[in-house]
Amino acid sequence: MGTLAPFQPGTPAMIVGQGTSDEPLPLELGEPFALLGGDRLGPEGIPFLAMHEHQPDFLVWVRERCATMLAAERPWFGGGTLILAGPAGAGRTHAARWLARVAGVPHAVLNLTDPVIAANVAASGEITEAIGASPVTIAMATARCANPIVTVVGADRLGDDVLAGLAAMIDPERGRRWREDRLGIDVDLGEVTWVLQLDVRRDIPAWVAPAALAVTLEAIPGGRDHVLALSICGEAMGDLGLDPRDGAVSWHRIREQLPRYGLNTAKALYANLVNALRESLRPGDTIIDYDPF
């Protein structure tokens, strides 16, 4: 008699696409998509790996969201809606990207300053350029994951028509059946974590995200030796296809390639770290080009 395989807990999943016919949905949206991050919710998981000790308010939000999901017996990462404010260069996009990386979920950017994307969100019909689906739906379909982290850019500088569409996307109830007009189907966005970027000099109307929590990031630390530099280095290594565990480069070698000045924004730090990594690689190593900005 064969031996039984050890029990493996199943990964929770949900179907995100809802159509009106018996035809298969585009992008396989009618198939179950995984809900990820549940194996990292504990105190030694996502909050520990977030590496944002210089932003204590952001870490408190991460810890509280993990605790909330555990208490609700929802074994995946779900952050609801966060308004992430701060000065330019404070690392708002990096914070969301790194959180997605350590939570094991995809990250997408919904740039509402792009007129085509804005029209898709507003469903205004005023712009007719073809767009297959929103970046959120594409991120979900590509990774087959129902709970991505989405950075929303431009919500603090748009008109009420686009903001009304955004409000429908992030609303806990209405977002469960958000209409993808170009695909002609409804998509369940109820498990998406929304991170709305906010410039400290601007505002987002309260009616857009009435249940959102707000966190303000501080300016990045000075110098080269701080946790933010390490987390951005980890992000850059992942983007360049490098495994930090293989020993190809050390922080000492990378640090020596960094300039002493001009590292006062997260974007500048990322760009300089990419250059430093390229200079520090052993002869014969090859990497791919990637620029998320």
* Predicted pLDDT at 42: 84
Architecture of domain 21-216 in CATH? 3-Layer(aba) Sandwich (3.40)
Which residues of the chain are modeled with pLDDT < 50?
1, 5, 7-8, 124-130, 285-293
pLDDT computed for residue 244 by the predictor: 75
Nearest Cα residue to 33 out of 238, 192, 239: 192
Residue 144, Cβ density class (10 Å: 0-12 exposed, 13-18 middle, ≥19 buried)? middle
In this prediction, residue 288 carries a pLDDT of 45
pLDDT value for 128: 45
pLDDT at residue 9 in the model:
53
d(CA 194, CA 269): 25
Nearest CA to 180 out of 15, 13, 14, 18 is that of 18
Closest-CA residue to 88 (of 234, 184, 176, 202) = 202
9-65 pLDDT per residue, tens: 578 999 999 988 788 899 999 999 999 999 999 878 999 999 898 899 999 999 999
In the chain, which ranges are E strands?
A: 13-15, 17-18, 32-34, 81-86, 107-111, 149-153, 178-180, 185-187, 193-199, 213-216
Would you state the pLDDT for residue 123? 65
pLDDT at residue number 4 = 54
The residue extents of the domains of the chain are: 21-216, 227-280
> How many whole angstroms separate alpha carbon 175 and alpha carbon 189?
5
Retrieve residue 4's tokens.
């039984």
